[in-house]
Amino acid sequence: MKLLTFYSDGKLKPGVLTKKGVLDISGSYPTLIEAIVRYKGLEEFLQFALEEECEFFLDPRKVDLGPAIDCSEKIICVGLNYRKHAEESNMPVPEHPILFSKYRNSLSGNGETVGIPAEASQVDYEAELAIIIGREAKDISEEDAEDYIFGYSAANDLSERSFQFRSGQWLLGKNLDGFCPLGPYLVTQDEIEDPNKLRIICNVNGEVRQDSNTNDMIFKCEKLVSYISHYMTLKPGDVILTGTPEGVAMGHEEGHRPWLQDGDEVTVEIEQLGRLTTYMEAE
């Protein structure tokens, strides 16, 4: 199943992409988290809607998408989780996952425009696989972690490097408005054969900048969910960005780093998850 959010009268509503179009489920499930928690009921609701002449289907071409999920309690990010990215960053391969966070103000959806602040000069792209948690997880084993994963999405951990490294904390460079594009859909895990073997690509204005596979991750999806759950309780709808592969602008030779600019079109594409496009615009 492909879940999503879409804009309606200036507000985000939850929906499901089906063969008949986008089904508005907001009447029964006001938020995607409620849809996740009551997923069995959602499956039955969807089946009924597909069999009946339901009037709540929308034309996907006329739907403005929001982030794949918009109401998460936590957005947890993993740094340096691809071996080749650690190498291009001239940093050692971590012994433990490096964790930081993004806030909900940073979320944006497929096809949205994200502003580049006037002071920003080093905006970077980071194609990432995102995990969405399906039920409360505390102190779970790596072997059981899959049972707590609801689904996956493509993400772009946009980063302003000069802000990120101006102090000892990364928070400022990671949390500008819209700097966490997520989407286009939240794809349930039953549709993904192996999240640790997915091709992941980022292109800017049609030029491929990153082309890798999640099999290069140092800490696999199950390890990350288990590890994090031993330090903080994961809740339904929580998002884990699993890190980016090599090819980011910061990894290029100094003086030749292709930072994102006004007018750039950035697309993250992950096998089985779809294409996530963001338009950059100077503020």
pLDDT tens digits along 6-28: 999 999 999 999 999 999 999 99
Cα dihedral angle (57, 153, 68, 61), rounded to 10 degrees?
Answer: -40
H or E element that contains 44: helix 39-51
Domain count, the chain: 2
The enclosing domain of 196 has a CATH number of: 3.90.850.10
Closest CA relative to residue 238, chosen from 105, 23, 68, 44: 68
Residue 27: both structure tokens together: 């009447």
Task: Give 219-224 contacts, CB < 8 A, sequence gap 24+.
Answer: 219/78, 219/81, 219/97, 220/196, 221/129, 221/131, 221/145, 221/149, 221/195, 221/196, 222/142, 222/143, 222/145, 222/146, 223/97, 223/142, 223/145, 224/78, 224/81, 224/97, 224/131
User: In whole angstroms, what is the distance from residue 196 CA to residue 187 CA?
Assistant: 15
DSSP labels for 1-33? -EEEEEEETTEEEEEEEETTEEEE-TTT-SSHH
User: In whole angstroms, what is the distance from residue 98 CA to residue 148 CA?
Assistant: 21
Q: How confident is the model at residue 209 (pLDDT cuts 50, 70, 90)?
A: very high
199, pLDDT greater than 90: yes
55, pLDDT greater than 80: no
Is residue 67 assigned to a domain? no
Shared-domain flag, residues 51 and 86 = no
Shared-domain flag, residues 274 and 145 = yes
Shared-domain flag, residues 243 and 181 = yes
Q: How confident is the model at residue 130 (pLDDT cuts 50, 70, 90)?
A: very high
* Domain limit, last residue, from 23, 41, 62: 62
User: In whole angstroms, what is the distance from residue 93 CA to residue 246 CA?
Assistant: 13
Shared-domain flag, residues 160 and 203 = yes
**pLDDT given for residue 6 in this prediction:** 98
Counting residues of the chain whose pLDDT is more than 90, the rounded percentage is: 93
Q: Residue 245 burial by CB count (10 A; 0-12/13-18/19+): exposed, middle or buried?
A: buried
Shared-domain flag, residues 38 and 108 = no
| Cβ 263 vs Cβ 280: under 8 Å | yes
Is residue 211 assigned to a domain? yes
Is residue 68 assigned to a domain? no
Shared-domain flag, residues 89 and 13 = no
Shared-domain flag, residues 35 and 150 = no
Domain, as residue range, for 49: 2-62
**pLDDT given for residue 53 in this prediction:** 74
| Cβ 183 vs Cβ 67: under 8 Å | yes
**pLDDT given for residue 69 in this prediction:** 98
Is residue 232 assigned to a domain? yes
Shared-domain flag, residues 103 and 53 = no
90, pLDDT greater than 90: no
Q: What is the mean pLDDT of residues 122-144?
A: 99
Shared-domain flag, residues 149 and 50 = no
**pLDDT given for residue 87 in this prediction:** 86
Is residue 148 assigned to a domain? yes
* Domain limit, last residue, from 39, 62, 85: 62
Cα dihedral angle (260, 266, 270, 276), rounded to 10 degrees?
Answer: 130
**pLDDT given for residue 200 in this prediction:** 99
Q: Phi first, then psi: give them for residue 229, nearest 5 degrees.
A: -65, -20
Is residue 157 assigned to a domain? yes
Is residue 168 assigned to a domain? yes
Shared-domain flag, residues 209 and 151 = yes
227, pLDDT greater than 80: yes
Shared-domain flag, residues 30 and 169 = no
DSSP character for 94? P
Q: What is the mean pLDDT of residues 70-89?
A: 94
User: In whole angstroms, what is the distance from residue 129 CA to residue 147 CA?
Assistant: 18
Shared-domain flag, residues 132 and 42 = no
Q: What is the SS3 assignment for 148?
A: helix
User: In whole angstroms, what is the distance from residue 182 CA to residue 169 CA?
Assistant: 23
**pLDDT given for residue 52 in this prediction:** 83
User: In whole angstroms, what is the distance from residue 197 CA to residue 215 CA?
Assistant: 5
**pLDDT given for residue 86 in this prediction:** 87
Is residue 69 assigned to a domain? no
Q: Residue 228 burial by CB count (10 A; 0-12/13-18/19+): exposed, middle or buried?
A: buried
* Domain limit, last residue, from 31, 62, 93: 62
Q: What is the mean pLDDT of the chain?
A: 97
Which stretch of 85-89, 141-145, 257-261 has the lowest confidence by average pLDDT?
A: 85-89
